[in-house]
Every structure is written in structure tokens, then in C-alpha cells.
């Protein structure tokens, strides 16, 4: 009961804070004067958390009209809001606006932009952003690579997904469960069941703990290739053997 009470209290308090941040900005907008960039930035972040990307972008434009200085935090929040809304074109438009004001995108900017492209099924554009961030001297992290691999998975580009895995390893970036999930799904969609299972084994070797849903992709790939009976011959960890057998039975 106490947990439910405190959880509910925290949620109400968080919602009240977001509402307050938005109202603080709207008051300044009504008076056409804002003394600090911090105020609209908090409003943009509030709209982002509420999933209202249009309002987040509107604040960015209002800041310009009101001559309120915009910074990388302003744009990062707005781009992240666009990413959540799958609005990749708006996210890229905000990138152009940053450049016009000589605001240099940072790691957060590029990760949000790549995420927007991933959600918008724009894998080529996501890879272009990867090249651009490298040119800017920024080192992609696991968040960057996971979003890129997910973009390739959605674009049915399993070979490119595996290339990105190789690249991140070379750069010393360790894949996590999200990375492997996208990779395995990419291989499943590309009918590469052996590679999917190889990735599952690699996860185990590296101590990355999969969940039951991970076994759907290797099984689906095997079923599509009519090779499900060979799943058990690839040295999958004994702890998962009942799950793999279950998958095989479903496939066959």
C-alpha cells in the first residue's frame, strides 16, 4: 500500500512540475519577454516528456521570435521530442537551425537525430549522421550504435548491421542487450538463422543476459529457412536448451 501511495504521489508531483514549467513559459510568452533561456528549455523538456513534439518545436520558434538565446540544450530537447514522435524530418530541420545559429551539435544531439531517423525508417540518413559526427570528432557510443543497428534492422540491412557491430567492437564499444536484440532481429528478417544463433551464443559468452523474447528471432529465421532442426547443434548454453527445444518444436 505504501509503495502504491508513494508511486502515485511521485507521479502527481512529476506531472505538477511539468505543468508548472509549461505555465512559466506561457506566461513569459504572453508578455513577450523572458529573462532566461532556462525557462523555455524546461518547457521544451516538459513537452518532450509529455510526448508533445509539436509544442516542443513551437517553443524553439517562439524563442527565436522573442529574441531569447537558444542553446544546444534547447535544440537537444526539441530533437529528442521529435524522435519520440517519429518526426525525423523535423529533427533534421532543427539540426539545420542549429547550424544557422552556429550552435555545434554534441553527442546528445546526434544520438537523438539518429534515433529520430531510426524511428522514421531512414537508415541511410542515420548512417550519414554517423559519418558526420565522426567528422566532428565525436566518438559514437553504445546508444549511437544500438540506434544505428536498429535502423538497419528496420531497413532490412542485416549485413550493414553486422558491419556496425564489428566497427563498435574495434572502437572498444561493448554491445548491450538492446544492441544484440536489434542485431538478432536484423538477422531473422534477413533469414540468417545461423548468424542469429551465433549472436545469441556471443551474448552468453560476454555475460549479456537475454530474455525469452530473444529466442523468437532465431526460431523464426530457422523456420523460414526450413532448418529448425539444426538449432540444437550450435552449442547453445545448456541453461537455455529447454527454451531452444521449445522453439524448435514450434518451428517444426
Q: Which pLDDT value is given to residue 243? A: 44
Q: Give the pLDDT confidence of 142-168 residue by residue, as tens digits.
A: 999 999 999 999 999 999 999 999 999
- d(CA 34, CA 22) in angstroms, rounded, equals 13
For residue 53, give every residue at least 6 positions away whose Cβ sits within 8 Å of its Cβ, in sequence order, or none: 47, 78, 81, 82, 84, 85, 87, 90
What per-residue confidence (pLDDT) applies to 9? Answer: 46
Predicted TM-score (pTM) of the model is 0.79
- Three-point CA angle 7, 13, 16, nearest 5°: 145
Helix boundaries (H) for 32-140: 38-49, 53-65, 72-84, 88-100, 107-119, 123-135
pLDDT exceeds 70 at position 21: yes
pLDDT tens figures, 206-223 = 778 765 555 555 555 555
Q: How far apart are CA 4 and CA 116, in angstroms?
A: 34
User: What pLDDT was estimated at residue 32?
Assistant: 94
Amino acid at each position: 500500500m505504501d509503495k502504491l501511495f508513494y508511486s502515485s504521489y511521485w507521479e502527481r508531483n512529476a506531472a505538477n512540475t511539468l505543468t508548472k514549467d509549461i505555465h512559466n513559459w506561457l506566461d513569459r510568452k504572453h508578455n513577450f519577454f523572458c529573462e532566461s533561456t532556462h525557462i523555455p528549455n524546461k518547457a521544451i523538456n516538459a513537452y518532450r516528456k509529455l510526448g508533445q513534439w509539436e509544442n516542443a518545436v513551437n517553443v524553439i520558434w517562439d524563442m527565436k521570435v522573442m529574441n531569447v538565446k537558444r542553446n544546444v540544450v534547447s535544440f537537444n530537447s526539441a530533437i529528442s521530442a521529435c524522435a519520440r514522435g517519429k518526426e525525423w524530418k523535423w529533427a533534421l530541420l532543427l539540426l539545420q537551425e542549429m547550424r544557422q545559429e552556429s550552435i555545434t551539435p554534441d553527442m546528445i544531439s546526434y544520438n537523438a537525430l539518429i534515433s529520430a531517423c531510426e524511428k522514421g525508417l531512414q537508415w541511410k540518413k542515420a548512417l550519414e549522421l554517423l559519418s558526420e559526427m565522426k567528422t566532428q570528432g565525436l566518438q559514437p557510443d553504445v546508444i549511437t550504435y544500438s540506434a544505428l543497428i536498429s535502423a538497419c534492422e528496420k531497413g532490412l540491412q542485416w549485413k550493414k548491421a553486422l558491419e556496425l557491430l564489428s566497427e563498435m567492437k574495434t572502437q572498444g564499444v561493448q554491445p548491450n542487450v538492446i544492441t544484440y536484440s536489434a542485431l538478432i532481429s536484423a538477422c531473422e528478417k534477413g533469414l540468417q538463422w545461423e548468424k542469429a544463433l551465433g549472436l545469441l551464443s556471443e551474448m552468453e559468452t560476454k555475460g549479456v543476459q537475454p530474455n525469452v523474447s530473444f529466442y523468437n528471432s532465431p526460431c523464426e529465421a530457422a523456420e523460414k529457412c526450413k532448418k529448425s532442426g539444426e538449432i540444437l547443434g550450435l552449442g547453445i548454453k545448456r541453461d537455455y536448451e529447454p527454451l531452444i527445444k521449445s522453439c524448435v518444436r514450434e518451428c517444426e
